[in-house]
Amino acid sequence: MSTQEPAPLTGPGSQEAFSPATPGPEPGEREILRRRVADRLGTGTIALPLLPQVASQVLALTSQPKVDALQLSNLIHRDPALAGQVLRIANSPAYMPSMPIVSLQQAVARLGMETVTEIVLAASLQSGTFKVPGYEGALKRLWRHGLASGLFAKEIARLLRSNVESAFLCGLLHAVGKPALLQVVADAQRDRTREQAGRGAVTDEVLRELLAEFHTGVGLRIATSWALPQAVVNAIAFHAAFETASANRREAAVACLADLFACELDEPQPSFEADIRRQPVVAELNLYPDDIAQLLAKRPAVARTVESMTL
Amino acid sequence: MTELRRCDVLVIGSGPAGQKAAIQAVKAGRTVVLIEHERAVGGACVHRGTIPSKTLRESAAQATRLARDAAIWGVSPRAGIEVSSLMARLDQVVSAHAHYMGRQIDRNGIERHHGRARFVSPETVEMTTVAGERSLFTADVIVVATGSRPRNPPEIPIDHENVLDSDSILSMLYLPASLTVLGGGVIASEYASIFAALGVKVTMIDRADRPLKFMDGELVAKFVEAFQRAGGTYIGEQTLGGVAFDGVSKVLTTLSDGRVVESDKMLVALGRAANVDELNLGAAGLAANARGLLAVDEHCRTANPRVYAVGDVVGPPSLAATAMEQGRRAARHALGLGEGAGTETIPIGIYTIPEMASVGLSEDEAKKRAGAALVGRARFDEVARGQISGITDGLLKLVADGTGRKLLGVHIVGEGATELVHVGQMALLGQMSVDAFVENIFNFPTLAEAYRVAALDIVAKRPA
């Protein structure tokens, strides 16, 4: 994060069980699994898994006689993966947008509600098969974390008099590689388990290591394939090392701080209020104690929004 | 207990005004401490104002040129440009400029601190760092140069998402299809013309019948003409009935005549507010005036003789060049060095597309002061360089006294105006006659030739 030594703040889901409690792989197995994941990432297309309930909710919503475009936009916002898929498809040659569509609001405005609904359904159907058995909880936590990061990024941007829309996307998608990686890890694990007759399930520790090692690379591949704006690409690439960003350093730093606030929302930490003020990213963004106090005061509102938007 | 640190001059703010005050003081052999609220030096000018908006303008001007010459090169401008790609050089430009300014401050031996400053007594300032650490400073002279930020009228719901100000518009991800600009001043006009040049459907709304009321009417007419050619619309003499986001995709602006203007985004550019809130002015025996500014005398001295204020914090003209001069003069006066003769020939440069620049008296001012005035005009399409460079919508006006001999003012609209005006500025400072432009030789072909054409126009109009 920085050359300074910040107080330790835990990462998303670090204390939570990511996978079923089964005996972990032996050290040699860990490396084999790691290589398998790396190999899988080296080939093939990565698809983001989607929460299947969204498709049914969209269907339910659009079957109503009077459908509100804002309701649709809000529904899609509940699921970062779906939001990402909608943006990717909305930007595909099939829809030929006159300029990049980077927000759902823009997608609804430009393409119309019906088209966006079609996109949502198509995206849901295409990705509906990407379930990660045994990792549902982890997946849900990752989405919640992404959503919370997006919401905190908006608040940080507002405080900095910076564009809120771009900050939300940067926060929402800064770790978009993780859910995609879960599927890859699960697939690699499944193959290995088959070979090893059931031995070596992925422990939380190994999963965390793999997510930490590979998620940025996966996230960047997704960002590239979706042709996301450069600011979002750089937030994904540099949120954990904003000081090395040659462009969009501020966006990367906003995503970094939003990530820390979202982590605390996942796992409340008693010393957070004191620790956060000492984080190098706080100095980077030039946030004074009263600014941080304003952000801390936003936590209950963000938590409520995350709760209401979580399926 | 916090130690009280002493210096000769304490400067609060490192924008153009504060920086020049600090450098002037240190060059006079004084110890100087500079407190800057932001991480990097330079103030809003470098980080949120002049430099970033001019970088965007440069991209827009290039886009305009590209569109004009597209047929020659067999290319067509790309649709759907990301704002960030237009600002690709911004990080580099800002960082280089801030680095240069930082080095200049350090090289001159100015002690630099990063923190927020507030008065705790008429001669003492407390600084709080980002980490919450506090220090106290006292000085014989305190220069307040804390700058300004966009003014957010309470009745307009600026959310930095759909309704933006001149800070947040620079971090917009994509170009909106349409943009409403509230205001008719410099910032509003600059951004309106920049976004119009980039293909955005821009509607400017203001109380005045035309934008930039303080500029020569003929220049502004040319600007409005170019703005409208680029697809822009100016709606004048209107007050706001209300601004609201429709909850889906449009910002709705209701005008006093009942019309409703719809746009994807809105830029609110209704002036700037001085950064005085955090200064605890009362402790220094000061207060902001009704306009939220610090009142100063002709030496930039406040009601507290120890405290000077310079730059945007004292209000118009809010130009970086003027702020620098205010900083220099304030420091010199405070240190008893003599400020030198004041000058009325401060140029104004407006980075609209096309640019506008002005120095000296306008035609109306000249008539009021001198009783009569003669005006010479040169259109850029009459000048070879204008034709060669495709800069044909420019106009240069020379304003002379009633005899047509004494030069009183220079007003220019057209690409290069902000550079070209300095020729006229030097002529005014040197009290040169209009004939100097006729009798001397300029490079050919250059836009400076317009001076000669305009001067000849005046010569032809001289009373017999």
Look at B160 and A158 and tell me if their CB atoms are within 8 Å. yes
Q: What's the structural domain count of chain A?
A: 2
Alpha-carbon dihedral angle through residues B169, B173, B174, B176, given to the nearest 10 degrees: -40
Q: Contact at 8 Å (CB) between B196 and B231?
A: yes
Contacts of residue B331, defined as CB under 8 A and 6 or more positions apart, other chains included, come to B9, B20, B21, B22, B24, B25, B28, B141, B143, B308, B337
Q: Is A197 exposed, middle or buried (0-12, 13-18, 19+ CB in 10 A)?
A: exposed
Is residue A21 included in any domain, yes or no? no
CA–CA dist A148, A303 (Å, integer): 7
Look at A163 and B171 and tell me if their CB atoms are within 8 Å. yes
ipTM: 0.75
Which phi and psi angles does A201 have, rounded to 5°?
-65, 155
* DSSP per-residue letters across B407-455: EEEEEEESTTHHHHHHHHHHHHHTT-BTHHHHHS---SS-TTHHHHHHH
Q: Which of A73, A158, A287 sits opposite B130 (nearest CB)?
A: A287
| Direct distance between the N- and C-terminal alpha carbons of chain B, in angstroms, rounded to an integer | 80
Look at A283 and B247 and tell me if their CB atoms are within 8 Å. no
Assign B396 to helix, strand or coil: strand
Do A110 and A242 lie in a common domain?
no
Half-sphere exposure of A151 (CA within 13 A, CB side): 29
Task: Return the residue in B36, B38, B93, B171 with the most chain A beta carbons within 10 A, the one to mutate for interface testing.
Answer: B171
Chain A residue with Cα closest to B175: A99
CA–CA dist B458, A91 (Å, integer): 59
Element (DSSP H or E) covering residue A200: none
Q: Contact at 8 Å (CB) between B163 and B190?
A: no
CA–CA dist A85, B367 (Å, integer): 66
Residue span of the structural domain in which A236 resides: 136-309
Q: Contact at 8 Å (CB) between B434 and B459?
A: yes
Pair type for strands B373-379 and B260-263: unpaired
Residue B76 pLDDT more than 70? no
Is residue A174 included in any domain, yes or no? yes
How far are the Cα atoms of B22, B60, B227 from residue B70, in angstroms, in the given order?
A: 48, 15, 20
Do A157 and A209 lie in a common domain?
yes
Do A145 and A285 lie in a common domain?
yes
Angle at the Cα of B231 (from B227 to B235), degrees rounded to 5?
70
Assign B161 to helix, strand or coil: coil
CA–CA dist B49, B320 (Å, integer): 10
Do A64 and A88 lie in a common domain?
yes
From chain A, pick out residues whose CB is under 8 angstroms from the CB of B37: 286
pLDDT at A51: 38
CA–CA dist A100, A104 (Å, integer): 12
Mean pLDDT of B214-228: 94
CA–CA dist B310, A261 (Å, integer): 39
Which pair of tokens denotes residue A1? 């994060």
pLDDT at A271: 92
pLDDT at B120: 97
Look at B173 and A162 and tell me if their CB atoms are within 8 Å. no
From chain A, pick out residues whose CB is under 8 angstroms from the CB of B247: 70
Is residue A48 included in any domain, yes or no? no
**Which of residues A127, A157, A183 is at a domain's end?**
A127
pLDDT at A299: 94
Q: Contact at 8 Å (CB) between B280 and B124?
A: no
Show the domains of chain B with their CATH numbers. 4-48+89-150+273-334 (3.50.50.60), 163-270 (3.50.50.60), 354-461 (3.30.390.30)
Q: Model-level pTM greater than 0.90? A: no
Chain B window 444-463: which residues touch A at a Cβ cutoff of 8 Å?
none
CA–CA dist B382, B395 (Å, integer): 10
CA distance A296 to chain B (A): 16
pLDDT at A199: 56
Chain B residue with Cα closest to A162: B168
Residue A163 contacts B, CB cutoff 8 Å: yes
Look at B37 and A247 and tell me if their CB atoms are within 8 Å. no
Is residue A14 included in any domain, yes or no? no
Q: What is the tens place of the pLDDT at every residue in B320-372?
A: 888 999 999 999 999 999 877 666 678 999 999 999 999 999 998 999 987 89
Residue A7 contacts B, CB cutoff 8 Å: no
CA–CA dist B434, B397 (Å, integer): 12
For chain B, the residue count is 464
Give the closest residue to B239 by CA, choosing from B219, B255, B261.
B255
Task: Return the residue in A163, A249, A282 with the most chain B beta carbons within 10 A, the one to mutate for interface testing.
Answer: A163
Residue B161 contacts A, CB cutoff 8 Å: yes
Is residue A9 included in any domain, yes or no? no
How far are the Cα atoms of A148, B21, B80, B165, B184 from residue B265, in angstroms, in the given order?
A: 25, 39, 16, 11, 17
Which pair of tokens denotes residue A106? 């823009």
CA–CA dist B80, A93 (Å, integer): 13
Q: What is the tens place of the pLDDT at every residue in B92-110?
A: 777 787 788 888 889 999 9
Do A298 and A236 lie in a common domain?
yes
| % of chain B surpassing 90 pLDDT | 68
Chain B window 112-141: which residues touch A at a Cβ cutoff of 8 Å?
116, 128, 130-132
From chain B, pick out residues whose CB is under 8 angstroms from the CB of A74: none
Assign B10 to helix, strand or coil: strand
pLDDT at B236: 96
Look at A163 and B116 and tell me if their CB atoms are within 8 Å. no
Which pair of tokens denotes residue B117? 């400053």
* DSSP letter (8 states) at residue A201: P
Residue B17 pLDDT more than 90? yes
Q: Which of B81, B161, B177 sits opposite A164 (nearest CB)?
A: B161
Q: What is the tens place of the pLDDT at every residue in B253-267?
A: 999 999 999 998 999
From chain A, pick out residues whose CB is under 8 angstroms from the CB of B171: 157, 162-163, 166, 231, 250-251
Q: Contact at 8 Å (CB) between B135 and B118?
A: no
Residue A2 contacts B, CB cutoff 8 Å: no
Pair type for strands B251-255 and B240-245: antiparallel
Do A245 and A295 lie in a common domain?
yes
Look at B174 and A247 and tell me if their CB atoms are within 8 Å. no
Q: What is the tens place of the pLDDT at every residue in B445-463?
A: 999 999 999 999 999 999 8
- CATH number assigned to the domain comprising residue A208: 1.10.3210.10
Q: Contact at 8 Å (CB) between B221 and B199?
A: no
CA distance B78 to chain A (A): 9
Residue B152 contacts A, CB cutoff 8 Å: no
Alpha helices in A160-226 (DSSP H): 164-173, 177-195, 204-225
pLDDT at A11: 40
**Which of residues A127, A153, A170 is at a domain's end?**
A127
Residue A295 contacts B, CB cutoff 8 Å: no
CA–CA dist A282, A278 (Å, integer): 7
Give the closest residue to B177 by CA, choosing from B201, B157, B196, B149.
B201
pLDDT at A189: 75
Give the closest residue to B380 by CA, choosing from B431, B444, B321, B447.
B447
Token pair 């945007």 in the structure block, residue? B312
* DSSP letter (8 states) at residue B82: B
Chain A window 250-279: which residues touch B at a Cβ cutoff of 8 Å?
250-251, 277-278
pLDDT at A6: 39
Residue B206 contacts A, CB cutoff 8 Å: no
Q: Contact at 8 Å (CB) between B358 and B215?
A: yes
Is residue A28 included in any domain, yes or no? no
Do A169 and A232 lie in a common domain?
yes
- Our separate counts of H helices and E strands in chain A read 16, 0
Do A59 and A184 lie in a common domain?
no
| Direct distance between the N- and C-terminal alpha carbons of chain A, in angstroms, rounded to an integer | 32
Q: Report how many Cβ contacts below 8 Å link chain A to chain B.
A: 108
Pair type for strands B134-144 and B307-309: parallel
Chain A window 98-157: which residues touch B at a Cβ cutoff of 8 Å?
98-100, 102-103, 105-106, 108-109, 154, 157
Q: Contact at 8 Å (CB) between B281 and B119?
A: yes
Residue burial A262-301, b: 16+ Cβ < 10 Å; e: rest: bbbbbbebeebeebbbebbbbbbbbbbeebbeebeebbee
Do A174 and A279 lie in a common domain?
yes
* Residues in chain A where the model's pLDDT stays below 70: 1-27, 29, 43-56, 58-69, 89, 92-99, 109, 112-115, 117-119, 121-131, 196-202, 226-227, 308-311
pLDDT at B218: 93
Pair type for strands B134-144 and B148-150: unpaired
Q: What is the tens place of the pLDDT at every residue in B278-289?
A: 999 999 999 999
CA–CA dist B421, B447 (Å, integer): 11
Do A91 and A221 lie in a common domain?
no
Maximum separation of any 2 CA atoms in chain A, in Å:
59
Residue A289 contacts B, CB cutoff 8 Å: yes
Look at A69 and B249 and tell me if their CB atoms are within 8 Å. yes
Chain A window 72-101: which residues touch B at a Cβ cutoff of 8 Å?
73, 97-100
Is residue A60 included in any domain, yes or no? yes
pLDDT at A279: 93
Token pair 């703005």 in the structure block, residue? B227
pLDDT at A108: 73
The DSSP bridge partners found for residue B33 are B10, B111
| % of chain A surpassing 90 pLDDT | 20
Residue B391 pLDDT more than 90? no
Mean pLDDT of B133-137: 95
Task: Return the residue in B114, B160, B167, B172 with the most chain A beta carbons within 10 A, the one to mutate for interface testing.
Answer: B160
Q: Contact at 8 Å (CB) between B245 and B159?
A: yes
How far are the Cα atoms of A287, B161, B187, B200, B264 from residue A75, in angstroms, in the given order?
A: 33, 19, 38, 30, 21
Residue B171 contacts A, CB cutoff 8 Å: yes
Look at B173 and A166 and tell me if their CB atoms are within 8 Å. yes
Give the closest residue to B43 by CA, choosing from B144, B154, B183.
B144
**Which of residues A127, A154, A180 is at a domain's end?**
A127
CA–CA dist B16, A182 (Å, integer): 52
Look at A287 and B247 and tell me if their CB atoms are within 8 Å. no
Give the closest residue to A116 by CA, choosing from A128, A125, A106, A126.
A106
Do A66 and A184 lie in a common domain?
no
Do A254 and A143 lie in a common domain?
yes
Is residue A254 included in any domain, yes or no? yes
Look at A161 and B250 and tell me if their CB atoms are within 8 Å. no
Q: Which of B39, B79, B171 sits opposite A99 (nearest CB)?
A: B79
